[in-house]
Amino acid sequence: MSEKPELPDGSEDLNFVMRARREKLDALAAKGVPGFGYSFQRSHLASDCAELLGDAEEGPVVRLAGRVVAWRAHGKTTFAHLGDPSGRLQLYFRRDVLGDVYDTVEYFDLGDVIGVTGPLFRTRSGEVTVRVTEVELLAKSLRPLPFGKEEVVDGKTVRHSAFSDGEQRSRQRYADLAVHPEVRALFASRSAMTRAIRTFLDGRGFLEVETPVLQPLYGGALAKPFVTHHNTLDMPLYLRIADELYLKRLIVGGFERVYEIGHDFRNEGIDRTHNPEFTMLEFYQAYADYVEMMVVVESLVGAAAVAVRSALGSAADRPDAAAFDVSLEAGGFPRIEWLPALSAAVGVVDVLALDDGALRSQATRANVQGVATMSRPKLLDELFQAHIESAIDVPTFVVDYPLELSPLAKPKRGNPALTERFELFARGKELANAFSELNDPIDQRRRFEAQARLKADGDEEATMVDEDYLRAMEYGMPPTGGVGIGLDRLFMYLTGTQHIRDAILFPTMRPE
RNA sequence: GACCCGGUAGCUCAGCUGGUAGAGCAGCGGCCUUUUAAGCCGUAGGUCGUGGGUUCGAGCCCCACCCGGGUCACCA
């Protein structure tokens, strides 16, 4: 070996394992076996084979393709396991069956993608196996995958030396997925959840739409945005922090039921429950109020729970299976009224009657940080978080938020200090936010202007006046119920996932 | 941002009060035609996160920094 092959990254310091695999690739090429194929016609999946063989000792010929996930060479025979989307199946290579081809099999490695042909049979120990008569190398694995070794103890699979560094598993999700079928199953169940939600909404006559991600003004939530710049227009654009204001423009336009599933972006911290981009579902239903929307949310969350549960199947194996005990499909989540709940927790008749000074001292008593610089709405919200939200465990609606906390919600019938708004909490985390949408453009302008004053007074999260949105509302917007649900959070709740990193295929990470 | 824990071979980890690195798996060579964490024999593989410092001598002690995890704070 006078010349070292070059790594894609330019480093010539190939580790010895990778060097060996390059050499095998060359050796195979010398035998006329290309390292990378073009296609393969599968006849079956691994999981079909047990039924196909039945009780017989010898079965039909099958053609399987997938990744080599285990390899046990014994001289003139080799046992391997092939993993495909359905599971894994044992392969048996024999020199007396394959002849010279066996020489090429000896250059295969753990992780190679291969296609095999051969009859099914049952080994001495009873395992359904393919006696390989033809084999094709479809992709040589030049970099060793971090396979652990698996052992079955008392019917449970125990993995040894598994790939377990959470950071590397997130950074190299492809490797995490390649060696962990259960991670594939988890993310597949997330897709099942999304599909169930679409089916649910489509079935109720909602139209799925796409609205701008790049927005000249951001709104619909209180958060710090990502800012970018359009060169030709020479103007700043913001990545959306919410879909809300565009979806309600569509309600004005006559699409009476719309929804969007997409990413929102918030330029804030990253932690166990926050990723800078996350998946938001928002849906709006004309002529409905927030009470009707609560019932819809109960059904939708139930449908999502059923979908995740059935997709995960053997969820009982999951260490966090307790999350599945909550009988969400039953619906009828408990409801807590914002004002009486907080007033009782604080020990006053009406927290909204407290002046700013009294609120501040209450917030300080509740261990809220940074009280001195907070606006009144912020103080109220912090107080509520500290006393009520963090204690909520099972899915619970909190209803009727103060008007000053809810610039896009209609005043509550019978108590204009409150709004017709609810949030859904579970495990102390917000899952959904919804209201009877404010459709009075005169009131909406006053609310925007109050927000603008807060912003001027230094509240970084307060919003701007969106004149175009007001113009739309002036044309006439029907009464509408609207809901936003963070799908990452919902999925985490339904699966018991502790870290948002494990609910997002490619979470945002600092560069290596 | 604060505090705590961690970063050693491709993977998972060990390394006692400081004496300049170990195991298993993966790899390579050999033996092995029903194995399954295959086995046996042999072998190779490491700027111990980075940069300073203390010391005759640092994976280990000190300082700074980088990266990750956890807890708290923040994120309606």
Question: In angstroms, what CA-CA distances link A24 with A9, A29, A73, A384, A506?
Answer: 21, 8, 16, 64, 32
On whether both A308 and A456 belong to a single domain, the answer is yes
Residue A229 has pLDDT above 60, yes or no: yes
* CB A501 within 7 Å, strand B: yes
A323 & A450 share domain: yes
In a domain, A156, yes or no: no
Q: Are residues A325 and A195 located together in one domain of the fold?
A: yes
Is the same domain home to A111 and A209?
no
Residues A189 and A290 both lie in one domain: yes
Regarding whether A191 and A137 lie in a shared domain, the answer is no
Cα–Cα dist A303/A95, whole Å: 53
Residue A67 lies in a domain: yes
Among A83, A116, A144, give the residue marking a domain's end: A144
Q: How many folded domains does chain A comprise? A: 2
Instruction: Classify burial at A327, counting beta carbons within 10 Å of its beta carbon; exposed 0-12, middle 13-18, buried 19 or more.
Output: exposed
Q: What is the pLDDT of residues A397-432, one digit of tens each?
A: 999 999 988 899 999 999 999 999 999 988 888 899
Residues A194 and A303 in one domain: yes
**H or E segment at A215?**
strand A214-215
Q: Do A122 and A249 fall within a single domain? A: no
* Strand B atom within 7 Å of A95 CB: yes
Q: Which nucleotide is nearest to A144 (CA to C1')?
A: B10
A166 touches strand B (CB under 7 A): yes
Fill in the amino acid letter for A100.
D
Using CA atoms, how far apart are residues A306 and A450, in angstroms rounded to an integer?
Answer: 43
Provide the CATH number for the domain around residue A226. 3.30.930.10
Contact flag, residue A322 CB and nucleic strand B, below 7 A:
no
- Show the domain range for A224: 182-270+278-333+444-494
In a domain, A3, yes or no: no
- Chain B bases closer than 7 A to any CB of the protein: 9-13, 24-28, 31-39, 44-45, 67-76
Same domain, A24 and A130: yes
Predicted TM-score of the model (pTM): 0.90
Q: What is the dihedral of CA A210, A216, A220, A222, to 10 degrees?
A: 130
> pLDDT, tens digit, for every residue of A367-390?
776 677 777 877 888 888 888 887
Which pLDDT score, from 0 to 100, does residue A327 have? 56
Q: Which two tokens stand for residue A381?
A: 């919200």
Q: What is the CATH number of the domain that holds A123?
A: 2.40.50.140
Per the domain annotation, does A364 fall within a domain?
no
What is the distance in angstroms measured between the alpha-carbon CA of A268 and the sugar C1' of B53? Answer: 38
Position A147 scores a pLDDT of 86
Each residue of A127-175: pLDDT tens digit? Answer: 999 999 999 999 999 888 888 888 877 777 777 777 877 878 888 888 8
A139 with A47, same domain: the answer is yes
Asked if the Cβ of residue A407 lies within 7 A of any atom of strand B, the reply is yes
ipTM given for this complex? 0.84
Model confidence at A345: pLDDT above 90? no
Confidence of residue A13 (pLDDT cuts 50, 70, 90): very low
Q: A65 by DSSP, 3-state: which? A: strand
- H or E segment to which residue A6 belongs: none
- Asked if strand B comes closer than 7 Å to A168 Cβ, the answer is yes
A311 and A206 co-located in one domain: yes
In a domain, A473, yes or no: yes
Residue A215 located in a structural domain: yes
Does residue A99 lie within 7 Å of nucleic acid chain B, judged by its CB? Answer: no
Residue A383 lies in a domain: no
A192 and A315 fall within a common domain: yes
Distance CA A120, CA A17 (A): 33
Residue A103 vs residues A6, A100, A509: alpha-carbon distances, Å: 27, 6, 44
Element (H, E) at A493: helix A487-495
Q: Is the CB of A222 under 7 A from strand B?
A: yes
Is A469 domain-assigned?
yes
